[in-house]
Amino acid sequence: MLPKKSNSNHVLRFAIFVAFAIPICCGQNISRGSFPKGFVFGTASSAYQYEGAVKEDGRGQTIWDTFAHTFGKILDFSNADVTTDQYHLYPNDIQLMKDMGMDAYRFSIAWSRIYPNGSGKINQVGIDHYNNLINALLANGIEPYVTLYHWDLPQGLQDKYMGWLNPQIIKDFAAYAETCFKEFGDRVKHWITFNEPHTMSVQGYDVGLHAPGRCSILLPALCRGGNSATEPYIVGHNVLLSHATVVDIYKRKYQQKQRGSIGITLNSFWYEPATNSSDDIEAAQRALDFHLGWFIEPLILGDYPRSMKSRIRSRLPRFSKAQSKQLKGSFDFIGINHYTTWYAKANKYTIIFGVLLNDSIADSGAVTLPFKNGKPIADRAHSIWLYIVPEGIRSLMNYIRQKYGNPPVIITENGMDDGNSPFVSIKDAQKDEKRIKYHNDYLTSLLTAITEDGCNVKGYFVWSLLDNWEWAAGFSSRFGLYYVDFKDKLKKRYAKNSVKWFKNFLAL
């Protein structure tokens, strides 16, 4: 339970002290044995980024199929029609996980393989595929962690009633989720309702850089309609209500018999105040409220953060008393996807180029950037947003412990990418010492949060097993422990040096 009185700035100051004032030796020798007994190590993926086979075995079209095939939406003009072809190659990939010593595999089910149009008739071939995948994982001693929704909404529901903008989605998502519980719940013991609702709300409905590509700020010509001032909040609201509805169904009808657990995966950067001024400290707190708090506080307290309600006002939907009650405590664990740390600075103005902005980014009153005074916060991976700040994961875990009552947390994604240069040979691409250092340092920082600070963290999933199709970045970004030769018809996998590092790490 949360303490009756909570000073958010005090919590933030404490987390900053933990992360930046206490030296952490990131070069120390750590291994699986350094972590508490039962701590889970795995790799993570998603259906759209991995499976391919987009027109096979009755799978329906998704909003990401539509988006990826729209000119100019993907950086390298690619699509995920084939990607890693895990739909066909999963037996081989399971062996790769087993050989490394991984305990678990987090993957998502493609809603449109179960219900090609989002609702209506079940596609039995889709059911059969995931049964085969789940059975193969378990036969090899790998525990499935299943995400029900990783952004790939059936296009049929988008066409029918605008998808996540319509509360009808709550009913259809619940029907899909219950089908999964019925069909797979006898073997799947770890369910995740949603992956990163913050990303899907902001990127899809505020700035328009993800499917379905809706926005109204700055570059409305790039979007197919939308309202950046309201739609992100409507989508987030419907996602939260869908989550609560599905968790309620699982707990009432399935959990006791199937003996599984259910949670949600949220994403968050850590935000360090750009200066020690009270304005910037408060801005960092608001940045966290509008990133993590937006979705975790309804689950902990049954309502949105106070800063969101006061700043967004009537544009932020409200929960009824019954909805609030259903949301509060609707999880067995919280998944956290964490990659990086940025600075936060107070922004007293929401006018850019003469335009008054009302959207989820401007509403926070915080400017967040990975550099200050022209200097980056740390070394960068390939992605323009991903700076390598291992201490941030410790600080974020302590923030969750202090502010939200230390709920069970699983790190459901953490990793870094290299670029996909045609001038780098496969042999050279396998030499990923930077990735090895990234995981060593982040795991060292996470271990300190667990063993020294008492953070309730239960597992760690690497993003990602394989190089894959990285949404709007396409194939320009390689996050995998295994290099995938996308030019090869067989999509051959090559172990990078990080595979050897993890194999040694997990063996001890």
Question: Would you name the residues annotated as active-site residues?
Answer: 196, 413
Q: Quick one: which of 279, 268, 343, 282 has its CA closest to 20?
A: 343
Supply φ then ψ for residue 335, to 5 degrees: -85, 140
* Element spanning 356, H or E: strand 355-356
Rg (CA), the chain: 21
Nearest to 112 by CA among 158, 67, 164: 158
Q: In Å, what is the CA distance from 332 to each residue of 211, 345, 407?
A: 29, 34, 8
Residue 376: how many CB atoms within 10 A of its CB? 13
Neighbouring residues of 219: CB distance < 8 A, sequence distance ≥ 6 = 208
Interstrand relation of 341-346 and 270-273 (parallel, antiparallel or unpaired):
parallel
- CB 395, CB 344: distance < 8 Å: no
Separation CA 162–CA 151 (nearest Å): 14
Q: Are 60 and 155 in contact (CB under 8 A)?
A: yes
Residue 387, burial from CB neighbour count under 10 angstroms (0-12, 13-18, 19+): buried
Q: How far apart, in whole angstroms, are the C-alpha atoms of residue 226 and residue 220?
A: 8
